[in-house]
């Protein structure tokens, strides 16, 4: 397995220790595959056959596409909890909400085993770490990354370590991680300090780091677009819309689309829209300026906790993806996000606040005429409704997000029988 630096082009081996997370020049790494021997038509048939499987590695919605993700990884090293295989829905209230475009699909990554799309990438990263002989897995995060990491470590009976800045421990977010058995450790500093500490000390501690700069995470997350394309019989919609925080998902979407196009699985690239929360939108602001240089936001602030990131590490890859797909960006307010979430919840699909940013952003793009009503779109719903039950309490019981008439209509307070 090989990687190349996206900044200087240096080549690195990825099948030996120590694991490399970045190039010596500081650039992001990208896994490179030799697809010259791939027979796309044969592979399509293989993928189709695997969709009928159950209870085996290739029944996974990630490992089904192993040939395009980690062909060299020995099968016995791959860990799975039947991740991927998420539903693709057409919800009429949500289609109406975004402005009655021709067709809208929702890809519910919330149906992953730990409740978010992080499982698509984590299954591959943890498997890669196991292949290299690591016995401990670490990240600096309290959100869905740490839940996913600790779930896979628990399945393997291995240790997981999660670093949390002392000032940011919110029991609400770390409990799932605690339940899976991770060692959660607080420290004085920021997330960036935590990631730096891991970069400098993980190896001596025998630890494999699973934060999103790990290029294997990106390889695994490519399966989201592979599965979506497969579900749609390799005919993607005009637009794919997703929320952007650390921008790993945007980067993975770009790599996945580029693979599918190069191999002839799809004959046209969809346009991609990355939606950020207004209070944490450095990528959107860069794109709106027409700039190629991201200016970090020192104090990001949004209710959509999974998007509360001021310095998204994968922005250079996300920018390349935008250029490749003639993509666009948008930013939406927390009130808009919560209104869209209430609509998605009410449609019976449900999601966490960060995911609703995609739907809210699509509604904005339709209103601005950037997405036209006779186009089709798919929104990636990244995480589960149960990840943030406080958001439900705030909206429905406390009336905290009643910023619009529609939000008031969607409120569903609990009333006494009498
Ligand atoms: C991680 C996450 C995001 C943001 O994805 P990035 O790859 O960091 O841009 C959005 N929604 C949910 C639910 C997440 O867990
Ligand atoms: Zn480099």
Residue 60 falls within a domain, yes or no? no
Choose one of 382, 386, 391 to mutate for the ligand 1 pocket test, by most ligand atoms within 8 angstroms of C-beta.
382
Q: What percent of the chain has a predicted confidence (pLDDT) above 90? A: 93
User: Looking at the domain assignment, is residue 324 inside a domain?
Assistant: yes
Quote the ligand 2 centre to 337 CA distance (angstroms).
Answer: 38
Examine residue 228 and state whether it is found in any structural domain, yes or no. yes
Can you spell out the DSSP letters for 215-260?
A: HHHHHHHHHHHHHHHHHTTT---SEEEEE-SSSHHHHHHHHHHHHH
Q: 358 pLDDT exceeds 80? A: yes
Q: Which ligand has the nearest atom to the CA of 142?
A: 1
Number of domains in the chain: 1
Tell which one of 210, 249, 380 to mutate to probe ligand 1, the residue whose CB is within 8 A of the most ligand atoms: 249
Give residue 252 CA to ligand 1 midpoint distance, Å: 12
Residues with CB under 6 A from ligand 1: 116, 118, 143-144, 243-249, 306-307, 352, 354-355, 382-383
Position 134 in a domain: no
| Integer Cα distance of 46 and 32 in angstroms | 22
Q: Specify the ligand 1 atom closest to the Cα of 251.
A: 7
DSSP string, 9-73: --EEE-SSSSP-SB-TTSPBEEEE---TT--HHHHHHHHHHHTT--SSGGGSTTGGGHHHH-TTS
CA-closest residue to ligand 1 atom 14: 306
Q: How far apart are CA 334 and CA 339, in angstroms?
A: 9
Length of the chain: 418
State pLDDT tens for residues 305-338. Answer: 999 999 999 999 999 999 999 999 999 999 999 9
Ligand 1 atom with the smallest distance to the CA of 351 is 13
**pLDDT(170) > 70:** no
The residue whose CB lies within 8 Å of the most ligand 1 atoms, and thus the one to mutate among 191, 253, 354, is: 354
| 192 within a domain of the structure (yes/no) | no
Establish if 346 belongs to a structural domain.
Answer: yes
> Can you give the CATH number for the domain in which 223 is found?
3.40.50.1100
- Helix (H) or strand (E) holding 207, with range, is strand 207-209
Q: Rounded mean pLDDT of 109-133?
A: 98
Cα(199)–Cα(379) distance, rounded to whole angstroms?
Answer: 34
Q: What is the pLDDT of residues 214-236, one digit of tens each?
A: 999 999 999 999 999 999 999 99
The reported pLDDT for the residue numbered 169 is 66
Task: Give domain status of residue 361, yes or no.
Answer: yes
Is residue 190 domain-resident?
no
Ligand (nearest to CA of 280)? 1
Q: Which ligand is the nearest neighbour of the Cα of 4?
A: 2
Using a 10 angstrom Cβ sphere, with 0-12 exposed, 13-18 middle and 19 or more buried, the burial of residue 141 is buried
Q: Is residue 107 within 8 Å of residue 88, measured between CB atoms?
A: yes
According to DSSP, residue 370 is labeled: S
Residue 344 sits in which domain range?
88-114+216-410
Q: How far apart are CA 134 and CA 261, in angstroms?
A: 35
């Amino acid at each position: 397995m090989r990687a190349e630096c996206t900044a200087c082009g240096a080549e690195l081996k990825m099948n030996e220790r120590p694991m490399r997370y970045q190039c010596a020049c500081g650039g992001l790494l990208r896994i490179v595959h030799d697809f010259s021997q791939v027979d796309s038509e044969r592979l399509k048939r293989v993928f189709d056959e695997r969709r009928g499987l159950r209870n085996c590695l290739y029944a996974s919605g990630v490992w089904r596409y192993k040939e395009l993700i980690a062909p060299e990884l020995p099968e016995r090293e791959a860990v799975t909890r039947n991740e991927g295989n998420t539903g693709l829905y057409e919800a009429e209230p949500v289609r109406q909400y975004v402005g009655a475009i021709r067709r809208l699909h929702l890809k519910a990554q919330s149906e992953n085993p730990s409740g978010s799309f992080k499982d698509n990438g984590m299954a591959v990263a943890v498997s890669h770490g196991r292949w290299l002989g690591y016995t401990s897995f670490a990240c600096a995060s309290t959100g869905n990354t740490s839940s996913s990491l600790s779930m896979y470590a628990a399945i393997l009976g291995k240790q997981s370590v999660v670093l949390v800045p002392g000032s940011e421990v919110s029991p609400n977010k770390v409990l799932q991680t605690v339940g899976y058995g991770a060692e959660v450790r607080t420290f004085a500093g920021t997330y960036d300090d935590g990631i730096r500490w891991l970069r400098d000390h993980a190896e001596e501690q025998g630890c494999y780091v699973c934060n999103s700069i790990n290029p294997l995470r990106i390889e695994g997350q490519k399966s989201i677009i592979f599965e979506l394309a497969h579900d749609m019989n390799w005919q993607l919609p005009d637009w794919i819309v997703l929320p952007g925080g650390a921008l790993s998902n945007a980067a993975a979407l770009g790599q996945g689309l580029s693979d599918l196009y190069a191999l002839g699985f799809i004959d046209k690239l969809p346009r991609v829209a990355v939606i950020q929360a207004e209070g944490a939108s450095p990528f959107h602001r860069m794109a709106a300026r027409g700039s190629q240089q991201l200016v970090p936001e020192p104090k990001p602030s949004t209710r959509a906790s999974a998007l509360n990131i001021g310095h998204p590490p994968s922005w250079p890859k996300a920018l390349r993806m935008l250029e490749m797909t003639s993509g666009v960006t948008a930013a939406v307010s927390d009130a808009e996000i919560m209104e869209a979430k209430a609509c998605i919840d009410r449609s019976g699909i449900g999601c966490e606040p960060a995911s609703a940013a995609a739907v809210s952003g699509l509604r904005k793009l339709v209103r601005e005429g950037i997405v036209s009503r006779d186009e089709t779109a798919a929104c990636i719903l990244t995480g589960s409704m149960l990840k943030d039950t406080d958001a439900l309490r705030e909206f429905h019981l406390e009336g905290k997000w009643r910023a619009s008439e529609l939000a008031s209509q969607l409120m569903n307070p609990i009333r006494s029988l009498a």
